[in-house]
């Protein structure tokens, strides 16, 4: 039985990871530590809350005493650090909390893992690992050609990506200095169930269903490299088990799309299958994001050749699964968009994305 300490497991990717692991293995125990910020939602995990191999602890990764207690009371084999402030637009409005959680929280976890796993100077118990879940955004932005490899220099542009890059460098420093057993994964944009509708794909779906206009930043031609969230979970599982200590692994599946293409794909699916009154008049071009990265594109060659990981869900399949999930879980969407979401939405988009007259 291996014990995983998963931080941020009530968020989008963390909750998908917990479901994936508990479905796949009978011999894993998962302790999920989450602060339950606006992005953390225990409803994502309601179907497994009675599972004897799962435990939730409401805590902040910055809390030294609490995180140390969790380590001391449990025989933690692997720490998978998803916990983060994750939204670029919020980092432009309020950068400090990104430094608190993403940088200082990660340093706190590194110290506690080091203290609890160390058996002597620079030696550790067998088979422990600290997996830092990072992002392709740390590399900055690409022009029309080329891809991010693990050797691409870090060049983050937003406070969010700068905080993730800072955390990555400290994680690597704990390997170089203390030999703490670490890996870093840098994945491209994820999509799938349980994603908070501040992010592009669930925001589009929610707005279409409410007949609200869809805010497209700038000219809509920025490119993201989309990966179905379960493929990311599989990659993390594989890096924990077989990743070479101290190494970074990029995760992505060569699925680059412009934002406007994503918007049109979703509008067309809903128009053809759900509501034929929906059309492209919902698209509203709005002011661009400050410092908006133009293009992301992952070179996944290293994880493919060293760990035999390949994405299994083509975009055409994954996007339909995703749209259907949100259509089948309208209560989930209602719950997460009640309360403070509306306040956030109005502050972000004002009346630029008003409801279409019926
Ligand atoms: P999310 O915002 O949906 O979830 C973040 C979770 O962390 C929430 O449950 C939140 O409550 C929790 N959290 C925040 N601060 C905390 C703290 N101080 N202590 C404990 N818990 C805290 O984010 P996500 O999209 O699931 O991303 C998870 C991780 O994956 C992040 O580290 C992000 O940088 C990285 N990542 C995301 C993507 C993507 O496309 N979403 C792609 C690559 C990497
Ligand atoms: O690349 C990985 C990153 O992907 C993760 O590290 C981040 O945590 C995650 O939030 C995501 O960042 P992006 O900024 O790429 O995702 P977002 O969904 O916010 O935006 C995707 C693209 O869509 C981006 O070019 C901005 C644009 N956009 C976004 C929103 C919310 C719009 O045009 N309109 C919108 O309303």
In a domain, 19, yes or no: yes
Q: What is the CATH number of the domain that holds 302?
A: 3.40.50.720
Cβ proximity of 249 and 186 under 8 Å:
yes
pTM: 0.98
Instruction: Note whether residue 16 is domain-resident.
Output: yes
pLDDT at residue 126, as a whole number? 81
Rounded CA gap, 41 and 348, in Å? 22
pLDDT at residue 339 in the model: 86
Note the pLDDT of residue 219: 98
Domain assignment present for 74: yes
Atom of ligand 1 nearest to the CA of 191: 40
User: Nearest CA to 197 among 257, 138, 266?
Assistant: 266
Mean pLDDT by 10 residues, the chain (358 residues): 98 99 98 98 98 98 98 97 98 98 98 96 92 98 98 98 98 98 98 98 97 97 98 98 98 97 98 97 98 98 98 98 98 95 94 47
Confirm whether 52 is domain-assigned. yes
**Is any atom of ligand 1 closer than 6 Å to the C-beta of 337?**
no
Residue 84 inside a domain? The answer is yes
Is 60 a catalytic site residue?
Answer: no
Three-state secondary structure string covering 23-71: HHCCCEEEEEEECCCCCCCHHHHHHHCCCCCEEEEECCCCCHHHHHHHH
Q: Is residue 207 one of the residues assigned to a domain? A: no
232-246 burial by CB neighbour count: b if 16+ within 10 A, else e? bbbbbbbbbeebeeb
Tell me if 225 CB under 6 Å of ligand 2: no
> Which mutation among 13, 38, 88, 226 tests ligand 2's pocket best, with the greatest number of atoms within 8 A of CB?
88
**Is residue 210 one of the residues assigned to a domain?**
no
Which residues constitute the domain of residue 60?
2-191+228-253+296-313+340-357
* Cα-Cα-Cα-Cα dihedral sign, residues 330, 331, 334, 336: negative
Closest CA to 206 of 342, 317, 39: 342
Residue with the smallest CA separation from ligand 1 atom 25 is 12
Pairing assessment for the beta strands 129-135 and 182-187 based on DSSP bridges = parallel
Alpha helices of the chain — where are they, by DSSP H? 12-24, 64-73, 88-93, 96-98, 106-117, 159-178, 200-209, 229-242, 259-273, 301-307, 315-328, 330-337, 340-349
Q: Note whether 3 and 75 are within 8 A (CB).
A: yes
């Amino acid at each position: 039985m291996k014990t995983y300490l998963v931080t941020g497991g009530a968020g989008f990717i963390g909750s998908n990871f917990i479901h994936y692991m508990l479905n796949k293995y009978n011999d894993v125990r998962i302790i999920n530590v989450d602060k339950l910020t606006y992005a953390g939602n225990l409803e994502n995990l309601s179907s497994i809350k009675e599972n004897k191999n799962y435990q939730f602890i409401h805590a902040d990764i910055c809390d030294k005493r609490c995180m140390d207690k969790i380590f001391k009371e449990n025989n933690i084999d692997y720490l998978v650090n998803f916990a983060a402030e994750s939204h670029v637009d919020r980092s432009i409005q309020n950068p400090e909390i990104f430094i608190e959680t993403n940088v200082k929280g990660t340093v706190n976890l590194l110290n506690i893992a080091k203290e609890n796993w160390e058996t002597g100077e620079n030696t550790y118990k067998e088979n422990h690992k600290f997996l830092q879940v990072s992002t392709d955004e740390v590399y900055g932005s690409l022009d029309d050609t080329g891809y991010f490899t693990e050797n691409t220099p870090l060049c983050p542009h937003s406070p969010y990506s700068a905080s993730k890059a800072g955390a990555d460098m400290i994680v690597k420093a704990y390997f170089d200095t203390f030999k703490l057993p670490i890996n870093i994964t840098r994945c491209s944009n994820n999509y799938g169930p349980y994603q908070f509708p501040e992010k592009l794909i669930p925001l589009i779906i929610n707005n279409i269903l409410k007949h609200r206009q869809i805010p497209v930043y700038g000219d809509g031609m920025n490119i993201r490299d989309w990966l179905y969230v379960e493929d990311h979970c599989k990659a993390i599982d594989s890096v924990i088990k077989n990743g070479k200590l101290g190494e970074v692994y990029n995760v992505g599946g060569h699925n680059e799309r412009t934002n406007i293409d994503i918007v049109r794909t979703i509008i067309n699916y809903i128009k053809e299958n759900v509501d034929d009154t929906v059309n492209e008049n919902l698209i509203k071009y709005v002011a661009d994001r400050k410092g908006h990265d133009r293009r992301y594109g992952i070179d996944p060659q290293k994880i493919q050749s060293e760990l035999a990981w390949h994405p299994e869900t083509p975009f055409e399949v994954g996007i339909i699964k995703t749209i259907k999930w949100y259509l089948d879980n309208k209560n989930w969407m209602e719950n997460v968009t009640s309360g403070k979401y509306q306040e956030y939405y109005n502050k972000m988009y004002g009346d630029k994305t008003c409801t279409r007259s019926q």
